[in-house]
Copies of this chain bind each other. A is one copy, B any other.
């Protein structure tokens, strides 16, 4: 009788990675908790997809009810996508009032890049050198850690990403200017090689870059340069969006800029495969004129119902405020660990998206970080790593995370650091 891991390797391929040395075989979820097949409970401090908590009853009920009533596509008229579209776009400013619903953040970014191309007539794209925006052939050109099949094409420029411990330009204070210079150099290269600048695409929290500490205005000079070159700004809000950062619904609001296109994904429907592009009507119409896009599953009634339930739960349970208050509390508690553990080089984040960067002997403590991830899993707390050297513990729990949950996280982190540190 083959084990689950053997079946998995045979069916899904030997390279299909799992988290943890001892992979977690999950069977149930509720709120911030996951249970494994042996009945052991884990505090989920990592998963952003179950944004309002694993198996939230209102989302489950919305999916069940609509799946039992009607599920079809947008070539028929249905009210739910309209109700949801109005509710969602009400959360945006500066005429981001149109949407195109798809099934994954990858599909959303794949569309967003073509919207930019259709609007500008250009093909060059600027991203960072430590990022990931999805897995389609077109979007994987932006990935820095996973080289796309066939290698990189010359229409993408990866500019140095901000970083707390190794700041672009040498100092944290000078990073915004250094980042902008990187963007300006990329613009010059794309204009020289004939692509021109269609878009700069960024996560406004630099989530995959390790969420370096940046403030409002950080991107202003870089954005101005892109706009001068005729390009548009795409904010990939898949990770910071829907209030996770606590202070605002969207990462771009916190940084104080106005993207032309916003892409949404993972947390949008609590795990139901739903994603979207939100943009100005002019951009959507230009894209649709250029390409008669249709997505069979995108915006179907069940997807719209699931996404609407998530939006309502965020409001009704005040999860944005919760992200801020619990996030502040947790960050402060994690900061207090610094005194006990020299390996903690940096503690940073906002809302329910924060982390701890580990260094030892003047070097990124990549192995220690990996050991910590496994040690905490063994102690019943799930998190993972991020950053250029995978030396930052990444905490990004469901947004129903409580102060008690934060206390447990910090206690276990303290214990685990003592055990492996």
Is A21 interfacial (CB-CB < 8 Å)? no
Q: Is A91 an interface residue (CB 8 A)?
A: no
Contacts of A270 in B (CB 8 A): 71
A1-40 vs B, Cβ < 8 Å mask (1 yes, 0 no): 0001101101111111111000111111100001000000
A343 within 8 A of partner (CB): no
Contacts of A71 in B (CB 8 A): 29, 49-50, 54-55, 270-272
Copies of this polypeptide in the complex = 2
Binds B, one of A158-166, A288-296, A348-356: A288-296
Instruction: Tell whether A360 is near chain B: CB-to-CB under 8 Å.
Output: no
A78 at the binding interface (Cβ < 8 Å) = yes
Across-interface contacts of A135 in B (CB, < 8 A) = 107, 293-295
Contact B25 A77 (CB under 8 A): yes
Taking a contact as CB atoms under 8 Å apart, the answer to whether A104 and B297 are in contact is: yes
How far, in whole Å, are A54 and B73 apart by their CA atoms in the complex? Answer: 12
Are A12 and B99 in contact, CB atoms less than 8 angstroms apart?
Answer: yes
Q: How far is the CA of A117 from the CA of B18 in the complex (A)?
A: 26
A114 within 8 A of B: yes
Q: Confirm or deny: A81 has a beta carbon within 8 angstroms of a beta carbon on chain B.
A: yes
> Cβ of A412 < 8 Å from any Cβ of B?
no
B residues less than 8 Å from A340 (CB atoms): none
Assuming the contacts A60-B64, A138-B136, asked whether A8 and B77 have C-beta atoms less than 8 A apart, the reply is yes
Q: Assess whether A407 is interfacial by the CB under 8 Å rule.
A: no
A107–B103 contact, CB under 8 A? Answer: yes
Interface mask (A277-312 → B, CB under 8 Å = 1, otherwise 0) = 000010011011111111111111011000000000
State the CA gap A148–B110 with chains docked (Å): 13
Q: Any chain B CB within 8 A of the CB of A79?
A: yes
A149 touches B287 (CB 8 A): yes
Complex Cα distance A102/B284, Å? 25
- Contact A266:B26 (CB < 8 A) given known A4-B82, A55-B68, A302-B272: no
Q: Are A110 and B98 in contact (CB under 8 A)?
A: no
Inter-chain contact A26/B292, CB cutoff 8 Å = no
Within 8 A of B (CB), among A46-79: 47, 49-50, 54-55, 57, 59-60, 63-64, 67-79
Asked if B266 and A76 sit within 8 Å, CB to CB, the answer is no
Bound together, the chains give a CA A308 to CA B293 distance in angstroms of 29
A206 to B113, CA, bound (A): 30
- Name the residue on B nearest A75 (C-beta): B19
Query: A76: which B residues are within 8 A, CB to CB?
Result: 18-19, 23-26, 34
Whether A335 is near chain B, meaning CB under 8 Å from some CB there, is no
* Contact status B26-A75, CB under 8 Å: no
Contacts A12-B100, A103-B103, A107-B104; is A291 near B72 (CB within 8 Å)?
A: no
Contact A49 B73 (CB under 8 A): yes
> Is A137 in the interface zone, CB < 8 Å from B?
yes
Distance A11 CA – B285 CA, assembled complex (angstroms): 11
Residues of B within 8 A of A302 (CB): 271-272
Query: Is A11 within 8 A of B271, CB to CB?
Result: no
Select the residue from A71, A118, A294 with max chain B CB neighbours within 10 A: A71
Q: Mark A328-358, 1 if CB is under 8 A from B, else 0.
A: 0000000000000000000000000000000
* Interchain residue pairs with CB less than 8 A apart (6): A15-B292, A26-B77, A104-B296, A107-B136, A135-B295, A137-B138
Report, nearest first, the 10 A-B pairs whose CB atoms are least far apart: A15-B288, A137-B138, A64-B64, A273-B297, A103-B103, A11-B85, A71-B271, A273-B273, A25-B77, A114-B149
